[in-house]
Amino acid sequence: MKDQKNLKKDFPIFSSKAAKKDGKELVYLDSASTTQKPQIVIDSISEYYKTSNANIHRGIYTLSEKATAQYEEARQKTQNFLNAHSANEIIFTRNTTEAINLLAYTFGEKYINEGDEVIVSELEHHSNLIPWQEVVKRKKAILKVIPIKFDYTLDMDAYHALLSPKTKLVAITAMSNVLGTKTPLKEIIESAHKKNAVVLVDGAQSATHQKTDVKALDCDFFTMSSHKMLGPTGVGVLYGKEEILKELPPFMFGGDMIKSVSQYNSVYADIPAKFEAGTPNVAGVIGFGIALDYLQKVGFKTIEQNDKALFSYAVKKLSAHKEVTLLTPPADKNGPVISFTVKGIHPHDIADILSQDNVCIRAGHHCAQPLMEKLGIPATARISFHIYNTPEDIDKMDKTLQKAIKIFE
C-alpha cells in the first residue's frame, strides 16, 4: 500500500497553485466538514458530462442507457459497501440531512403518534436533532436525550433507563463530529429492538473511516454523505430495511417515482424509485461510486491505522501546551476528530491565525449547540483527518498554534 505522502498525490488540490497562500502549502485539517477529492473522482464526473450525459431511467437510446447503467452501478457499489441485503434498500438523496428529513416526514408521520417517544443523544449534529424535534412537536410525542459522561462517552445506564414500551425510534450518531466519540451501536440497537423500537444510525462521520456492515449492526436505517467520503457534494445515502421502506409513503412527488398517473390519481413506483423523484445528481452519484472504489482500494485497515497514528501524534503535540484543553474521549472510543480550547483565545481567533499560514481548521459550535451548552463553552477549535494527512501537517498546525498563543500572551 502507498504511504500517506504518496496517497496525498492522488488529491490535486494539494499541488494546486491556487491552494497555496503566500507560497505556503495547504494544510487541510477539516475533513469532518468535507473531504478533498482524488483525481479519479474528479475525472469520473468530467467523463460523464463528456461521454454519457443524458437523463436516466427514461430514454431508450444508447446514451441514456449508458448513464442509467452507471447510476445503477453506483447503487450496487453502495449496497456492497454497506453489505445491505438488496440494492433496493439504497436511496440516493442530496446529503445526510435530506436522508434524515426523508425519514422524519415518512416514518415520523406514519408511525409516531401522541405520547410516543423518540430518543436522541447529546452528541447529535443538528441534522439528527431538529427533524425529530419537529416531529414530536407535530405529533405531540416526547423527545428523550441520552446524556454524555465526564469522559465524553454516552451514559449507557441512562440510555437503558430511557427506553420504554413507548419508544418508537432511537436516532443516534455513530461518531460525534465534535468530540470524535464512537457510540456502542450494537448495544444501542439490540436494546432498542427488545422494546420493538426502530433505530436510525447517522453515519456521516463514521462511514468514511471504518467498515460499515448494516447486516451485522442490524440497524433499521443508516445515512451517510458522499462529500465526507472523498466523493462529490450533493449526494447522500439512506439505507433502510426493505420491509420498512416498502410501507413508507413517498417523500416527494413528481417524475420517475410513479408507475402510472391519471388525471385524479397516481400509483407510486416500487422502492427505491418511490423515494427518488425528479432528475437526480447523476454525475455526483457516478462520482460517489468511484469514491467508494477508491476508499475500498486504500482499505479501512490502512485508513484506521493512519487515523490512530495522527490522532495520537496530534494529542501529544497539543497536550504539550499548558494553555490547551482537549475534549476527547478515551483512546479506544475516538475517531479522527479533536476538539480543543486555548485559554484566553476564542476559537475563531485560533482558526483565523492558522488560516494566515494556510492551515485550515474548523472553529465554532459545529452544528451541535446543545452539546456546546452541555460542555459549558460557546465553541471549540477542531482538527480532523483523512488519508491525505501526514505528521508534517500536524507539525505545521502546531507551529502556528504556538504563534497564536504567543500573540495573545
Domain 4-30+300-408 indexed as CATH 3.90.1150.10: yes
C-alpha cell belonging to residue 6: 504518496
Where does the chain hold its CATH 3.90.1150.10 domain(s)?
4-30+300-408
pLDDT digit string (tens) for 32-45? 999 999 999 999 99
DSSP 165-210: TTEEEEEEESB-TTT-BBP-HHHHHHHHHHTT-EEEEE-TTTTTTS
Q: What is the pLDDT of residue 1?
A: 38
**Backbone phi, psi, residue 102, to 5°:** -55, -45
Q: Would you place residue 3 in the very low, low, confident or very high pLDDT band (cuts 50, 70, 90)?
A: low
Q: What is the pTM of this model?
A: 0.96
SS3 235: coil
The one-character DSSP state at 95 is S
Where does the chain hold its CATH 3.40.640.10 domain(s)?
43-296
C-alpha cell belonging to residue 102: 426523508
Domain 43-296 indexed as CATH 3.40.640.10: yes
Q: Residue 273 pLDDT > 50, yes or no? A: yes
Q: What is the pLDDT of residue 409?
A: 82
C-alpha cell belonging to residue 5: 505522502
Q: What is the mean pLDDT of residues 334-362?
A: 97
Q: Residue 2 pLDDT > 70, yes or no? A: no
Q: What is the mean pLDDT of residues 216-221?
A: 98
Task: Supply the residues annotated as catalytic.
Answer: 367
